[in-house]
Amino acid sequence: MKDTTVVAMFKALPSDKSQFLFDAAGAGEEVFFLAWTTTPGPSRPT
């Protein structure tokens, strides 16, 4: 069996739109987003 799962972690940057995330995380904490997929690469036509 071939595992085709991909997980990526992205670091959030502080801005007016993301400030609520940093407020919820606490003073001095970093914020990250995780993305997960089981279909890496381009999709095949059906």
pLDDT tens digits, one per residue of 27-45: 999 999 999 988 756 666 6
Tokens of 9: 């972690």
Half-sphere exposure of 42 (CA within 13 A, CB side): 3
**For position 40, what pLDDT does the model report?**
56
**For position 31, what pLDDT does the model report?**
97
**For position 41, what pLDDT does the model report?**
62
Higher pLDDT, 43 or 10: 10
Q: How far apart are CA 22 and CA 19, in angstroms?
A: 5
Fill in the DSSP letter of residue 42: P
Categorize the per-residue pLDDT at 26 as very low, low, confident or very high, splitting at 50, 70 and 90. very high
Query: For residues 4 and 37, is the Cβ–Cβ distance under 8 A?
Result: no
Q: Is the pTM of this model over 0.75?
A: no
> pLDDT at residue 24 above 80?
yes
Tokens of 21: 């995330």
